[in-house]
Structure 1
Amino acid sequence: MNYPKIRLAQTLIQLCKAKNISHIVISPGSRNAPLTLGFGNDPFFNCYSIVDERCAAFFALGMAQQRKEPVAVVCTSGSALLNYYPAISEAFYSDIPLIVISADRPSDKIDIGDGQTIRQVNVFANHILYEANLSEVDANQNENERKINEAINTAMVQRGPVHINAPFEEPLYELIENFEVNPKVIHPVSSISSFDLDQQVDFIDSWNLAQRKMILVGSLPVDSVDRDILTNLASDDSVVVFTETTSNIHHPHFFPGIDVMIAPIEKIPEELEKLRPDMLITFGGMIVSKKIKAFLRIYKPQRHFHIDPKTGYDTFFCLTHHFKSDVSTFFNKVHTQLEKVPSDYQSYWLGVQELRRKSHKDYIAQIPFSDFKVYESIFKSLPEDCMLQLSNSSTIRYAQLFPQKESITVFCNRGTSGIDGSTSTAIGASMVVNRPTVFVTGDLSFFYDSNALWNRYTPSDFRIIIINNAGGGIFRILPGPKNTPVFDSYFETVHNLSANHLCEMYGWDYKRATDENSLHLSLSTFYSTGDKPKVLEVFTPRLENDEILLKYFSFLRTQ
C-alpha cells in the first residue's frame, strides 16, 4: 500500500483510522495531496470527492447528522477553507461532530506574497470546539499527536466541529510503502451526567406543586427519549408537551402544531394566561416557532429548567437551571419522586387542539392551489419509513402546520437556520441511511445550493420536491411594504428560473406540476423505484400565497 512520505500526513491518517473516522469528504487541491493520497489509497476509508467546498462540508454534515459520529472534510490551503464556514457554524449550533482538516503552507511561507495562502491558524475561533494548529517540523511529532488526539476526541465527546490545520512543505506527492511513524492513540473520556442536588430538589418540588407544566421539545435525533418517559408525561393531566416537527417524538396527547395552537389566541390575553405554564421544561435543539418564543418571553413561567448534556440557552429570558444530562438519564433519575398533580391543563388544551384540527381541514377544503395546499398534498403523499429533510425559511414553517407520519424521521439545519447547504446536507444524509430520502425545499434555497447535485454519489431513491413561487415568498409574509421595485428586487428577489436544465445537466429525472391535477398525477409515481434520483418542481402563484397563509390564522381565530 502507498502512503504519503510526509510524516505529519501519516500521523493524521493513522489517528483517524485508529479512532474509526471512516468517512472522508475530499475537495481537490494540491497542498492537501498528502492527505488525499493517504486516505484515498487505504480501503478502510470511504472517500467522497466533492469539488465545491461549501457543498462538501454540508455533505459531510449530513452524514455526521445521521451517523452521530464524526465525519472528516479535507481541503487545500487558501480560500477553499473559508467555504467550510457555513457548515461549521451549523455544526457548532446543532451539536454535530465534524472534523475539518485543512492543508496549509509552512509558517514561514505565510504573508510573503505566495498564492493560495491565507492566515488559517484559528480562523474559525468563534465557532469551533477545538483548534489543532500543527507543526511541519518532525521534532514536534509528540505535540502534533497530542493535538490531533485532542481534536478528534473533542468532536466525539462534545459533539461539534473541530479544526486541524496541517502545514505541508513540498514535495507533496512522494509516496512510501510503509509508515515511518507510529502515533500514540489517546482514547476519549466520556462525559458523565451530573446534577446539582439543590437544583434537583428545586425541580422536584416545583414539579409537585405546579398545576400547569409545559414541556417544549426542539430538534432531536430519533429515539432520543425513552418511550416510557414519553408515555408517563402524556398521562399527566398537568403536563402539556409541545413538539416541533424536528423533535421526532409523537403521542396522541402531545401538541405538534405549536403555531396552530398559539396564533388564534395571541391577541386574547385571558387565553394566553390560561396557557402560561407555572413550570417550563425544555430539551432538544433550536426552536423554530417564533410564536412560542414571543409567548414565553412575555408570559414567563415561574421556573424554567433546560435539560441537555452540553448547552443551556436562556431563550425565554427566565432560565432557572441547566441540567447537563441527556433527557432519559435525567427523568429516570427523578421520576420516582415526581407526583401527578390534579389539573385540567392538558385536557383543556387537547379540546382546543381538536377544534383547531377540524378548522384546519375545513380551511384546506376551501382554498385554491397555492403553497399551503401543495405542502398539504406533499406531506400526505410521503411514503412510510422515509427520511424527510427540509430546507429553511418557508418550508420548515409550513411543515410545522401539518401532522407528520410517525414512521418518518424529520431533519432541518436549524442551528443557524440558513438556506445555504440544505440540499447538500440532505444528499449527504441519504448516503448513510437504509431508507429513501425526500428533500422538500423552496426555490431560492434549492438554486442557492444547486452545486449539491454535482456529485456521483446521490442514491437513485433520493427525491427533491421544489416549491417554486418565483422568489423568496417568506418576505411577503413578514411586515413591511410589498409590491414595490425595491421589495421585488432586494427582498423577494423575483425570478423565472426552473430546475429542468440543471436536472438535464446532472442526469436527474425531472417532473413539473402547475395545478392540483398535475401535482397529484406527478406524486402518484414520483416515489416509485428508478435508476436515477428525481426532482419534482411545483410552480405556485407568487402573489396569492402570503394572503392564503395569513388568512389561515385568521380563520382559526373565528372558529
Structure 2
Amino acid sequence: MYSSERNVQMLLALLKAHKIKKMVLSPGSANASFVASAQYDGEFELYSSVDERSAAYIACGLAEESQEPVVICCTGATASRNYMPGLTEAYYRKLPIVAVTATRPIAWLGQNRDQLIDRTVIPNDIAVKSVHLPVILNEQEEWECNLKINDALMELYRNGRGPVHINLTTSYSLDFSVSKLPQERVIQRINFGRELPKLSNGNIAIFVGAHSAWSEKLKVAVESFCEQYNAFVFYDQTSNYTGKYGIPCGLFDIGGFPNLKIDLLIHLGNISASWPSSAREIWRVNSDGEIRDTYQHLTKVFEMQEEDFFMAYCDYYQIGQTTQYEKWHAVYNLRIEAMQNYDNDMAFSSLWIAQNMHKNMPKNSIIHFGILNSLRCWNCFEIDHSIRGYSNTGGFGIDGGVSSLIGASFVDFDKIYYGIFGDLAFFYDMNSLGNKHIASNVRILVVNNGLGGEFKNSLGNVQKAGLGDLANEYISAYGHYGEKSPELLKHYAQDLGFQYLSATDKKSFFVAMKEFTATEHKEKPMFFEVFIDEQEDVSALDLIQSLADFSESEQNVIKKTKKIAKNILGRKGVKISQKIMRKND
C-alpha cells in the first residue's frame, strides 16, 4: 500500500490534485517509498528508465508531445547530477518537468554519510523553483510541506512554464500499511482573464494589511463588493482604507474574536501587525501572484490588480445587504464604548494616549507609527479618513521609523507629518533628528516608559513564558538611554531646533496635546515626550482584554474582569473591577 511517510503521501495527493499523472521513474532505495506508493496508487501513468540522464530527456519529449507535466524521480546518490542536462533543456524550452530527488536528512551533510548529495543550492538554469521537503513530525512541518509542494507545482505553468525541483527527504520507512491518501489543502493560482471561482455562501470579510493610498476606482469596487456579498473590511492604520465598510482590527487583536465567524477572508496588502486568524479559508489578491500564506488557510492566489478582482465579481446594478458589517461594527462600538466608560479608570498609558488623541489629529495629516506597541494601540481606533498611516512593517524592526517619517515629510511641506514612537524605537533612530532638511511640518510623539514595552506586556511571549521582571536585565532594554531622564531628550530636541513639549500625567497631557495637534503650521518642528509607568502601560492592555468579550453574558464578563484584575492588576485592578460592577449594575 502507500508508505507511512507523510511527505510522500502529501506529494502524491497534491500531484493528483494538480492533475499531474505522468512519471518517469529510476531505480533506487532512497526513492523507494515514493515509487512504490505511486505504483500502488494505480492512477499514475508510469515509465521506467535506469539512466537518469536519459530519464530527464524522455520526460522532455513526453511533456512536449503530450502538453502535460511529467514527474521524474531518482534516488539520493549521484543520480540527481545526471538530471542536469535534461533539466537544462527543459528550462530553456520551458517544459513542465517535476524533478523529485530523494535524500537522506540534510543535517547529515558533511558527516561522511553515504549516498548524500548537497542539493541546497542548484544551478540557476535547471529549475524555476526548488523546494526541500523535511520528514513530517509535527503540524508546522506538515504546513511547510503542503505550502512548498503547492508552490512548486503552481510554478510549472507560471510565466511561460518551466521545470521545478522537489528535494524529498526519506526516513526509509518499512511501513507500507496506509490504504488511502489523506485529503490535502490545494492552493490554486488564478490569473486575470481566467474563469473566477464561485464565492462562499458563508460570511465574507476583507483584510487589508500595509497598503499604499487607494485609488477611487478600487475603493468604489470594494464598497460595491461589500454591498453585494454582505462583506466588510478589517483594516489597520497602515492599510489606508477609507471606505464606508471598514472596521479597525486592533480591538479584536487585543480582545479576541467574539462568537462571530468568517468563512472566507480576502487578503489584500502586505505585512501587518494584526492577526485575523479565525477565517476558515483565505484568498490572496495581489498583482505579484506570490503565495503569502500568512494565516495558514490560503487556498487561492489571484494574480491580478485588486480592482480587477472586485470589479469582476460585482454587478453594479445589484444591491445586497450589509448585515455582517453592521453586526461586527456593533461589537466594535461596544468595545469602544466600554473603553470610553472606563476612561478615567484606565491607566495613563500608550493605549489611553491613543484613545484620547486619535480624534484630535488634524485632517489630511500623515502618521508614521513605530513597531510594535505604538501601532498596536492606534490600530484600535478609527481616525479621520483623510489621514494616511504608515509603519515600517516590511522588515518589522524598531529601527528606521523616525527616518522614514522624515523622508516622507520632504514630499509636501504643506502637510503635517506625525510620528508616534515608543522610547526604544525612537532612541534606536534618534540620530535622524539632526538632519538639516527637517522642516516645521514634522511633529514627533515619544511615549517613554523606560524600556521596550513589548517585552513586559501580557500579549508577548516573554511574559507568557513567566519571566516577569527578569526580562529587565537583558531582554527589555531597561535602564538604557537615561532611565527616563526628563532632561536628555528635552535638550537634544531643543538644541536641534525643535519645540519641546512634555507630560507626566493626564492633566499635563491634555494641555500639551492641544498644542501638538493644532491644525495651523508652527514655526518649528515639535517634539512631545510623554513619561508613563511601565506597569500602568501593561495594565491598560490587560483591562481592555477583560472588557472585550461581549459574546459572554453580562455576569460572566463581570466575573472575568474581577478575576483578571486580581491576578494581573493587583490592588488598583480590584478597584477598577469594582467600578465596572457598579456601572454594570
- Range of TM-score over shorter length: 0.5 to 0.7
Change (3 A) 1:343 1:463: closer
Does residue 354 of structure 1 match 2:345?
no
Q: CA deviation at 1:320?
A: 2.2
* Counterpart selection for 1:315 from 294, 315, 331: 294
The question of 1:212 aligning with 2:196 is answered: no
Partner of 1:276 in structure 2? Answer: 262
Report if the CA contact (8 A) 1:369-1:516 is conserved. yes
Distance 1:367 1:506, change over 3 A: same
Counterpart of 1:426 (choices 387, 405, 409) is 405
Corresponding residue of 2:423: 443
Match in the other structure for 2:476: 492
Give the share of equivalent positions with the same residue, in percent. Answer: 23
| Aligned: 1:469 with 2:449 | yes
The within-5 A match list for 1:238-277 is: 238-256=230-248, 258-261=249-252, 263-266=254-257, 271=259, 274-277=260-263
Q: Quickly say closer, same or farther: Cα 1:491–1:307, change in 2 above 3 A.
A: same
Q: Of 263, 269, 273, which residue of structure 2 is paired with 1:288?
A: 273
Amino acid at match of 1:232: S
Query: Retained in 1: the 8 A contact 2:206–2:265?
Result: yes
For structure 1, which runs of at least 5 residues remain unmatched after alignment?
Answer: 1-124, 126-192
In structure 1, C-alpha distance between the alignment counterparts of 2:322 and 2:388, rounded to whole Å = 33
Deviation (angstroms), 1:242: 0.9
Matched residue, 1:32:
none
Q: Does structure 1 residue 399 correspond to structure 2 residue 378?
A: yes
User: How far apart, CA to CA, are the structure 1 residues paired with 2:317 and 2:269?
Assistant: 21
Q: Please say if 1:232 is aligned against 2:224.
A: yes
Residue 177 (structure 2) pairs with residue 201 (structure 1): no
After TM superposition, the score normalised by the length of structure 1 is: 0.58
Instruction: Give the Cα–Cα distance (whole angstroms) in 1 for the partners of residues 494 and 256 of structure 2.
Output: 48
Q: Separation in 2 of the partners of 1:347 and 1:368? A: 31
Query: Which segments of 5 or more consecutive residues in structure 2 lack a partner in the other structure?
Result: 1-123, 125-188, 550-556, 559-585
CA apart distance, 1:368: 3.3
Mapped contact 1:308–1:322 kept (Cα < 8 A)? no
Matches for 1:58-457 after TM superposition, within 5 Å: 195=191, 197-198=193-194, 200-202=195-197, 205=198, 207=199, 209-224=200-215, 226=217, 227-236=219-228, 238-256=230-248, 258-261=249-252, 263-266=254-257, 271=259, 274-277=260-263, 279-290=264-275, 292-293=276-277, 295-296=278-279, 300-301=280-281, 304-309=283-288, 311-336=290-315, 344-433=323-412, 434-457=414-437
Scaled by the length of structure 2, the TM-score of the pair is 0.55
> 1:518 maps to what in 2?
508
Paired residues of 1:306 and 1:312 also in contact (CA < 8 A):
no
Q: Which residue of 2 aligns with 1:459?
A: 439
Q: Which residue identity is paired with 1:284?
A: G
Q: 8 Å contact 2:283–2:302 — kept in the other structure?
A: no
Taking the aligned partners of 2:325 and 2:355, their CA distance within structure 1 comes to 27
* Structure number, greater radius of gyration: 2
Tell me if structure 2 keeps the 8 A contact 1:384–1:407: yes
CA contact (8 A) 2:225 2:313 kept: no
Deviations 1:197-223 (A, max 9, x none): 55x421xx2x2x523111111121122
- Output the CA distance in 2 between the equivalents of 1:234 and 1:276: 14
Corresponding residue for residue 46 of structure 1: none
Report the CA distance between 1:194 and its aligned residue: 8.6
Alpha-carbon deviations, 1:6-44, whole Å to 9, x = none? xxxxxxxxxxxxxxxxxxxxxxxxxxxxxxxxxxxxxxx
How many residue pairs get aligned? The number is 349
Instruction: Check conservation: 1:363, 1:552, Cα contact below 8 A.
Output: no
Indicate the SS of the match to 2:272. Answer: coil
Which secondary structure does the structure 1 equivalent of 2:427 belong to? helix
Instruction: State the Cα distance separating 1:235 from its structure 2 match.
Output: 2.2
Give the secondary-structure state (helix, strand or coil) at the position aligned to 1:255.
strand
Q: CA deviation at 1:352?
A: 2.2
Q: Assess, with a 3 A threshold, how the Cα gap between structure 1 residues 218 and 339 changes in structure 2: closer, same or farther.
A: farther
Distance 1:228 1:505 in 2: 48
Separation in 2 of the partners of 1:531 and 1:321?
Answer: 52
Q: Distance in 2 between matches of 1:343 and 1:440?
A: 34
* Conserved? CA contact 1:222–1:248, under 8 Å: yes
Partner residue in 1 for 2:528: 536
Q: How far has the Cα of 1:481 moved from its partner?
A: 3.0
Return the structure number with greater relative CO, CA threshold 8 A, min gap 6: 1
Decide whether aligned partners of structure 1 residues 461 and 395 sit closer, same or farther in structure 2, where only a CA change above 3 A counts: same
State the SS of the aligned residue for 2:336: helix
Question: How far apart, in 2, do the equivalents of 1:260 and 1:235 lie?
Answer: 24
SS in 2 for 1:441: strand
Check conservation: 2:254, 2:541, Cα contact below 8 A. Answer: no
Structure 1's 544 and 482: CA in aligned 2 closer, same or farther, altered over 3 A? farther
Inter-partner Cα distance in structure 2 for 1:467 and 1:520:
14
Supply the AA of the counterpart residue of 2:422.
G
Q: Contact between 2:347 and 2:537, CA under 8 Å: does it hold in 1?
A: no
Deviations 1:410-441 (A, max 9, x none): 11111111110100000000001241101111
Q: 1:264 to 1:472 in 2, by over 3 A?
A: closer
Deviation, structure 1 residue 345: 3.4
Letter of the structure 2 residue corresponding to residue 250 of structure 1: T
Residues 481 and 197 from structure 1, CA distance in 2 versus in 1: closer, same or farther, beyond 3 angstroms?
same
Q: How far, CA to CA, are the matches of 1:420 and 1:490 in structure 2?
A: 19
**What one-letter code is carried by the residue in structure 1 that aligns with 2:191?**
F
3-state DSSP of counterpart to 1:336: coil
Matched residue SS, 1:320? strand
How far is 1:507 from its partner? 2.4
